[in-house]
Amino acid sequence: MKIGIKTNLKRDINAQASKLFCEKLREVGIEYKICDNAKEYFDSNVIAQENEVFEWCDIVVAFGGDGTMLNVVRSLPGELPILGINMGKIGFLTEVDENQIEYAVFALQSGNYTVERRSMLKATVDEQQFYALNEVVVSRQDPCHVSVFEVYIDGILADTLRSDGVLVSTPTGSTAYSLSCNGPVLSPTVKALIINGICPHSLHSCPIVVDDNMSIKISTNDDIMRVIADGTIVIKSQIDGMDITIEKDNKQALFVRLNNQNFYAKLRAKLNYWGD
Beta carbons of 95 and 63 less than 8 angstroms apart: no
111: left (phi over 0), alpha (psi -120 to 50) or beta: left
CB atoms within 10 A of CB 182: 11
230: left (phi over 0), alpha (psi -120 to 50) or beta: left
Phi, psi of 201 (to 5 degrees): -90, 75
From 12, 36, 43, 66, the catalytic residue: 66
CB-based contacts of 95, cutoff 8 Å, min separation 6: 83, 84, 85, 86, 104, 255, 256, 257, 258, 259
Q: Residue 66 catalytic?
A: yes
Catalytic residue ranges = 66
